A and B are shown apart, each in its own frame.
Chain A
Amino acid sequence: MIMSFIVAFVVGGLICVVGQLLFDVANLTPGHTLSLLVVVGAVLDGFGLYEPLIDFAGAGATVPITSFGNSLVHGALQEAERHGLIGVITGIFEVTSSGISAAILFGFIASLVFRSKGRP
């Protein structure tokens, strides 16, 4: 079990290092970087490479934003397998909604409760 923590730590850390390189070397904005990483996750799942990564690294692969791309492709492919080509569109949000739902929900709650403070 300890091993699973270490692997999650290392793999997750490495994905973040890729992100940092995109920030500092490629000079991409956070928006560009995260969008790119999501696309990378989607493409990797297209090649069937992301699921094995999740089996290997657990949270190290499910926590980074790349897993969002993976989930979207998964949903689309599951539906396509069942219902043919139309499933590619209808299935996209099947598997993943917890991240977006949580962000919307907690975002709204936060706006009720918190204020921003300009501190360095």
Chain B
Amino acid sequence: MVARGILNFPSRPSIRAAAVAAGPLEKKKSIFGPLFDKLHDSELCGEDTNEKAHSRLIEDACGLALEKAGAMPADADFLLCGDLVNEMTPSNFAAANLHLPYIGLFSACATSVSSLAVAALLTESGASRLALAGSASHHNSIERQFRYPIEYGFQKGPTAQWTVTAAGFAAVTQNEPGYPEIRRATIGRSVDYGLTDPLNMGAAMAPAAFDTLSRHLFGTNSVPGDYDAIITGDLGSVGSSLFRQMAKEEGLEVRRSKWRDAGEEFYGDDPSFFAGASGAGCSAAVYFSDVFQKMLAGEYRRVLLIATGALLSPLSFQQGESIPCTAHAVELSMSGGGQS
């Protein structure tokens, strides 16, 4: 194996603050609800359309992340953001309101990590002192685009996942002691194992997650035991089982308590969400609340975040294509600890 796509950040950019804004269902049903910074009572978040609500969530999370970093929008250098609506409309419109130099990123549901990686690169190069990185999703606007109108009656099977309505953003700065540092990242490849069912995303994405994990471990000369947690984005219960099984069959040490998945955990055990949560906001919401807070509290010293994304489109599905997927990984460590 050749170590490809590995990024190192010797200057150790920090995640100085992080914030999450979410919708009413997440307020009611997500086990991470109490950790989120802003919870809306209506899906429209006070706006006219779902897409504007989607933008509102992005603006809320960005504003709160900056506030927690003790900064104002005028202090930020870059906005790295993305979503799954056509042409990333909600991100574009949120960026218009935030007035920041903006790079729109599309990695589907893996955008939470790809944006962190790019923010870290910009910080490493000295171009950025404060960058906002994150992603968002809104259930209604994504469902109607990728699947069916919200009120359409169709029967979901046990592999279906629910797109969350949430936005998570991190304020990435030059190194500051006492905050989680971005040490390394591995950029995902587009991996297509020939799966075709858009209602079974987890199974389609697991190979991409495993490809990135393998390359990261190999390229950084580390093993699963080096991390306090390995947290995938939204493989859901089905995809996570496959991911862990693939790891076991490759001889990796898999400790169930350490190998987490944001999608599987997001809505707890509620069966009405089938295989779990998904969406660009799913991984962002969990990484930038639960994981971030656990690191600040000292519970996690070194974690590997692997956000997963399915790179299909409604068009590719209609054209009978299979589903290529990707997974981006970022390694966070609490300052002063861990490894060389």
Contact = CB atoms under 8 A, between A and B. Distances in A.
State whether these chains interact.
Answer: yes
B149 A116 contact: yes
A117 B24 CA distance: 11
A27 B195 CA distance: 14
Contacts of B151: 114, 116-117
Nearest to B42: A117
Interface residues of A, number: 9
A116 B272 contact: no
Interface residues of B, number: 16
A119 B25 contact: yes
Interface of A, helix, strand, loop or mixed by DSSP: loop
B165 to A, nearest CB: 7
B29 to A, nearest CB: 8
B43 interface: yes
A106 interface: no
Contacts of A30: 154
Interface in B241-291: 270, 272-273
B43 A117 contact: yes
A118 interface: yes
Interface string B128-143: 0000000000011001
A42 B165 CA distance: 44
Contacts of A120: 25, 162, 270, 272-273
Given A23-B155, A30-B154, A118 B149 contact: no
Contact of A118 (B143, B155, B270, B272): B143
Contacts of A27: 197
Contacts of B155: 23
A18 B143 CA distance: 27
Interface string B149-169: 111001100000010010000
A28 to B, nearest CB: 12
Contacts of B197: 27
A23 B156 CA distance: 11
Contacts of A119: 25
A120 B273 CA distance: 7
A30 B273 CA distance: 21
7 nearest A-B pairs in the assembled complex, by CB-CB distance? A116-B150, A120-B272, A118-B139, A118-B140, A116-B151, A118-B150, A30-B154
15 contacts: A23-B155, A27-B197, A30-B154, A114-B151, A116-B149, A116-B150, A117-B43, A117-B151, A118-B25, A118-B43, A118-B140, A118-B150, A118-B165, A119-B25, A120-B272
Interface of A: 23, 27, 30, 114, 116-120
Interface of B: 25, 43, 139-140, 143, 149-151, 154-155, 162, 165, 197, 270, 272-273
